[in-house]
């Protein structure tokens, strides 16, 4: 039987000029002119574009989907077998109730529930399975009001991240007539349970207005609370745990600004905390009339915590509480009535520090493994000494504890169950260092079976991200065990662009230093080869979104190192996107990548690494590229154009697949089992690319 030919996208003349430079882009036509409308209604996509995307999907299905079906199903079954399908979360008390979520066997989505705190029958507040039906369902948030009568919840029905807010009367189970469309999803209640604050998203998918809605009034009469005039800033609303203030936050990737609204007087005007200053970030919380502020002000690169009176909070009144300490990155903090809890990272590993706000005494929660993940959270209540933390490592399933900040008592609550069985002693994890070209040590977390002796023939999956200061935690994952149990080494490269080694690690992987992200990842791959953990041409690289840009860059720069590339919703058409200020994320992204519209230097920097622009006539590894039609973050045409150009340019015959989810966006499939199928597909590709198992 003749194998189907790979789809060949038409080339159509298109050129654009800026800074005296003219660029040809023959695949520009894949960008739908009506992309805003497509986000809301995918059916209005241009027929020619749809035909091309569906042809690529059909080619993928014939060439890889069907031949690998048995392998995908096996991996899917393995991963699903590690999930406790009828699992329950841990109740969070609030007033007379404890709120929780539960999953039912064979169901894709959670139930949101509550039970009386003193005992009694459970009430289902929201059954997301019933709401989802057979279509896409993205829960944008669910917040009960302070009186426990109403639930404000939101959903996205096509993956475009436009959420509709509804209000459910929990005494009757019925929805109120208050229906608010085109929001970012969250709703914040005033203290009386009569008013919600929400964020509107404009036609270019930017959150730009904070609105106030009083229950029972027409949405058309909702009041404008705050409007952001700078298209480079995103906004949102929240509430302090003390319940004193509604807060409004405006920010880009390096600058922030906050406002306070009295939660007892929701119609009062927002009060500015401190006006935005380029490069200064801050975040606030409140206790007893005092603001506690996490900030990088005054050259505090790794952040410090200051205080200021809530009624006069300008920077001139900021007083250091936790001074800046170079190399000790303060990631987050929370306030309880008498304690402050902060999450820090030191030498690449996290720790929790608890401070008694009455005495100033501090104690620490940390662990001794080479690599681990640590997280903290507070519940709904402020007047308590209890907070919650989670711990896991690549070999150890997540464990959750309640911690009494007053006594230091640690109460074990739950360990993640792996129904199919998991023995941590069957696996080993290490943290190694790769030497970057400029001499920096790049941490790499390694996981493999204890009975595996790695060598040059050992397959390896190397994962990376490296942007926005996002650090990849060295935690437990049920999915990668399907590779590890097949003899893979699973590795995470903690490359620059994240904050794994402090804020400097982020600064040295952005804008004009972005190429450090790529060379760090390549150094990690070379180190794995040099140490005999794998071999050249035995590594499959994986990354998504900004990590997909990483995949595109390393594919261009060192294709010989890799057996395969998995690029999920990849941000690969960087230059064109950063030149298009109408796109949702472009203005807010300029502080991260640079602004090629106003700066010739930024233009040249981005042009030198943008994966789409640097595709060349060379051999590339096998590649799986995934996209989402309604993705507002990385628009579908970026991976589509990239694949089209690769097909026309590359000199090898290795597989190249584009799989576009025609009914989802950036996050992929919405149901938990459908999401597992996407993971199984990617891992089946990794197995095939390394020849670990034969396909049918």
Closest CA to 478 of 58, 75, 45: 75
Length of the chain equals 696
> Between the CA atoms of 172, 176, 179 and 184, what dihedral angle is there, to the nearest 10 degrees?
-50
Quick count: other Cβ atoms within 10 Å of Cβ 130? 11
* Residue 502 bridge partners (DSSP): 500
Name the active-site residue from 205, 213, 251, 666: 666
* Residue 411 bridge partners (DSSP): 402
DSSP assigned state of 52: H
In angstroms, the CA 135 to CA 124 distance is 21
Maximum distance among all alpha carbons in the chain? 79
In angstroms, the CA 552 to CA 560 distance is 14
Up-side HSE of residue 191: CA atoms within 13 Å toward CB? 14
Name the active-site residue from 253, 494, 631, 670: 631
Sheet holding 441-449, edge to edge: 427-435, 441-449, 489-493, 460-463, 539-544, 562-568, 622-628, 656-661
| 59: exposed, middle or buried (Cβ count in 10 Å: 0-12, 13-18, 19+) | buried
Q: Tell me the three state secondary structure of residue 121.
A: coil
In angstroms, the CA 434 to CA 167 distance is 52
In angstroms, the CA 475 to CA 307 distance is 33
In angstroms, the CA 551 to CA 542 distance is 7
Quick count: other Cβ atoms within 10 Å of Cβ 386? 18
Q: Are 482 and 78 in contact (CB under 8 A)?
A: yes
First to last CA, the chain: 15
In angstroms, the CA 183 to CA 181 distance is 6
What are the CB-based long-range contacts (under 8 Å, 24+) for 153-156?
A: 153/112, 153/126, 153/187, 154/183, 154/185, 154/186, 154/187, 155/131, 156/185
Name the active-site residue from 393, 482, 545, 610: 545
> Residue 300: which residues within 8 A CB-CB, separation 6 or more?
324
- Angle, helices 515-530 vs 546-557, to 10°: value is 60
Closest CA to 480 of 680, 693, 677, 689: 680
Q: Are 645 and 29 in contact (CB under 8 A)?
A: no
Block residue for tokens 């569906």: 54
Question: Does 696 participate in catalysis according to the annotation?
Answer: no
* Residue 15 bridge partners (DSSP): 24
Question: Rounded to 5 degrees, what are φ and ψ at 120?
Answer: 145, -175
Q: Are 492 and 459 in contact (CB under 8 A)?
A: no
Question: Does 631 participate in catalysis according to the annotation?
Answer: yes
Question: Does 545 participate in catalysis according to the annotation?
Answer: yes
**Residues catalogued as catalytic:** 545, 631, 666
């Amino acid at each position: 039987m003749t194998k189907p030919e790979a789809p060949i996208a038409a080339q159509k003349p298109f050129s654009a000029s800026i800074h005296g430079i003219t660029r040809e882009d023959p695949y520009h036509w894949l960008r739908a002119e009506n992309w805003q409308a497509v986000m809301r209604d995918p059916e209005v996509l241009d027929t020619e574009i749809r035909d091309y995307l569906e042809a690529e999907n059909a080619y993928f299905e014939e060439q890889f989907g069907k031949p690998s079906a048995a392998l995908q199903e096996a991996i899917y079954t393995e991963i699903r077998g590690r999930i406790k399908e009828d699992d329950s979360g841990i109740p969070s008390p609030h007033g007379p109730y404890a709120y929780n979520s539960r999953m039912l066997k064979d169901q894709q989505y959670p139930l949101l529930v509550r039970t009386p705190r003193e005992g009694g029958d459970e009430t289902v507040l929201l059954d997301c399975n019933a709401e989802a039906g057979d279509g896409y369902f993205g829960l944008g948030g669910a917040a009960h009001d302070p009186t426990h009568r109403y639930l404000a919840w939101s959903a996205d029905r096509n993956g475009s991240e436009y959420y509709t807010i509804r209000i459910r009367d929990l005494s009757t189970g019925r929805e109120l007539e208050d229906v608010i469309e085109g929001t970012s999803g969250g709703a914040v209640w005033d203290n009386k349970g009569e008013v919600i604050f929400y964020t509107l998203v404009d036609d270019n998918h930017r959150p730009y207005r904070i609105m106030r809605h009083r229950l029972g009034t027409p949405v058309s009469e909702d009041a404008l609370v705050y409007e952001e005039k700078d298209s480079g800033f995103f906004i949102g609303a929240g509430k302090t745990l003390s319940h004193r203030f509604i807060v409004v936050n405006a920010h880009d990737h390096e600058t922030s600004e906050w406002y306070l609204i009295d939660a007892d007087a929701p119609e009062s005007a927002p009060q500015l905390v401190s006006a935005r200053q380029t490069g200064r970030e801050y975040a606030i919380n409140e206790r007893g009339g005092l603001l506690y502020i996490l900030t990088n002000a005054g050259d505090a690169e790794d952040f410090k915590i200051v205080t200021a009176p809530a009624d006069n909070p300008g920077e001139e009144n900021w007083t250091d509480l936790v001074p800046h300490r170079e190399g000790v990155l303060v990631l987050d903090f929370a306030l309880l009535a008498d304690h402050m809890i902060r999450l820090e990272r030191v030498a690449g590993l996290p720790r929790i520090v608890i401070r008694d706000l009455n005495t100033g005494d501090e104690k620490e929660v940390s662990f001794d493994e080479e690599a681990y993940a640590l997280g903290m959270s507070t519940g709904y209540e402020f007047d308590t000494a209890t907070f919650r933390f989670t711990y896991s490592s690549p070999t150890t399933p997540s464990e959750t504890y309640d911690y009494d900040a007053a006594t230091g008592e640690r109460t074990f609550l739950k360990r993640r169950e792996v129904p199919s069985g998991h023995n941590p002693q069957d696996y080993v994890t290490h943290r190694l260092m790769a030497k970057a070209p400029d001499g920096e040590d790049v941490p790499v977390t390694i996981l493999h079976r204890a009975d595996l002796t790695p060598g040059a023939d050992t397959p390896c999956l190397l994962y990376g991200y490296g942007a926005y200061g996002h650090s990849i935690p060295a935690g437990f994952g049920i999915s990668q065990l399907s590779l590890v149990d097949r003899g893979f080494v699973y590795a995470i490269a903690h490359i620059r662009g994240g904050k794994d080694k402090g804020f400097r690690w982020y600064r040295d992987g952005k804008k004009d230093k972005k190429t450090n992200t790529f060379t760090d990842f390549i150094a990690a791959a070379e180190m794995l080869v040099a140490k005999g953990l794998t071999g050249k041409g035995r590594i499959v690289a994986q990354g998504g979104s900004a990590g997909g840009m990483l995949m595109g860059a390393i594919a261009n720069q060192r294709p010989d190192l890799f057996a395969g590339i998995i690029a999920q919703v990849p941000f690969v058409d960087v230059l064109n996107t950063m030149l298009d200020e109408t796109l949702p994320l472009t203005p807010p992204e300029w502080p991260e990548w640079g602004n090629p519209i106003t700066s010739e230097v930024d233009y040249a920097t981005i042009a030198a690494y943008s994966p789409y622009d640097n595709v060349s006539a060379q051999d590339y590894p096998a590649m799986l590229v995934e996209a989402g039609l309604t993705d507002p973050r990385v628009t579908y045409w970026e991976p589509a154009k990239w694949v089209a150009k690769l097909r026309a340019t590359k000199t090898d015959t290795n597989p190249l697949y584009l799989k576009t989810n025609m009914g989802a966006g950036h996050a992929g499939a919405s149901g938990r089992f459908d999401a597992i199928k996407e993971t199984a597909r990617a891992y089946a590709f990794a197995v095939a690319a390394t020849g670990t198992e034969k396909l049918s």
